[in-house]
Amino acid sequence: ELKKKEASVVVPLISKTGLFGVMFLGEKAGGDAYTSADLDTLETLMYQIATALENASLFTQISEFNQKLKAEVDRATADLAEKNRNLTVLRRLDEIIINTLDLDEICQKIVDTIAWEAGFVGGLISLLNERGDKLLAKSVSATPVLTKMIKLLPLPLTSFSLDLAKAPSSNLFVKALKEREPFYSSNFSDFFLPPLDETLCQKMQETSKIKHLAAYPVSSKGHPLGVITFALHKPYDQLTSGEMATLKAFMDEAGIAIENAKLYQDLKRI
């Protein structure tokens, strides 16, 4: 075996805990044989080498453990931050439900919460009319980007509506309401065509630079109320579990807030 490895000397590496390894040495550079003095030197060095290697191994293990620990702490911190954000959003919506009964005001506060508290780009609320056959644009987040985008409309936002019977079945607002599931796309025209035309949809998307939209049906006690459209920073299917939980909790609370405001509005008419 020594010949196969072209080794002239085998040195055991012994640390405080026992045999740590083995070191093979080839021939001396000059071709001379190893002397007893060489072996004595190696015998002295083998303990130091073993200790150094053992310390290096322990350091590597500790470093790897610290990296794993840091990764776990980072994940836990990120999860905690998402949970705190979720609680902040829910607390904000609870405040809206308790302190606001006007429908217009509630809708505006909800879409503003999407941008300022939930951490998304912004949102748009569209509500069904009393007959449930049209979807009426109601409120959009009051952020600089979305405000600039809305200015491109030829009429006020609330002038636009979607006739559900005449709209194409491919329209994602229609699909969200009918199937009671969220739908997402990177194309404005998938949501807003009609009532907007293709050219205006493209211009609004270019102005806002929004690339990811998701339409969520909003309801209360199983009764459909409309659709909330979220403008996202990244593709919908790349949202974290925490972000998805925030969306779900947001929709549940928003549905309650809008339903309460609509009931209050109906009572005022009596």
Does the pLDDT at position 146 exceed 80?
A: yes
State residue 82's pLDDT score: 67
pLDDT surpasses 80 at 67: yes
Q: Where does the pLDDT of residue 59 fall: very low under 50, low under 70, confident under 90, or very high at 90 and above?
A: confident
Give the count of beta carbons closer than 10 Å to the beta carbon of residue 183.
Answer: 20
Give 183-232 pLDDT, tens digit per residue. 999 989 999 888 888 999 999 998 888 889 999 998 888 888 999 998 88
Contact 152, 188 (CB under 8 A): no
Alpha helices in the chain (DSSP H): 36-99, 103-116, 144-150, 172-179, 189-192, 198-208, 241-269
Q: Given CA atoms 208, 190, 117, 225 in this order, what sign does their dihedral have?
A: positive
Question: For the whole model, what pTM was predicted?
Answer: 0.65
pLDDT (tens digit per residue) in 16-50: 778 888 888 887 777 777 888 888 888 888 888 88
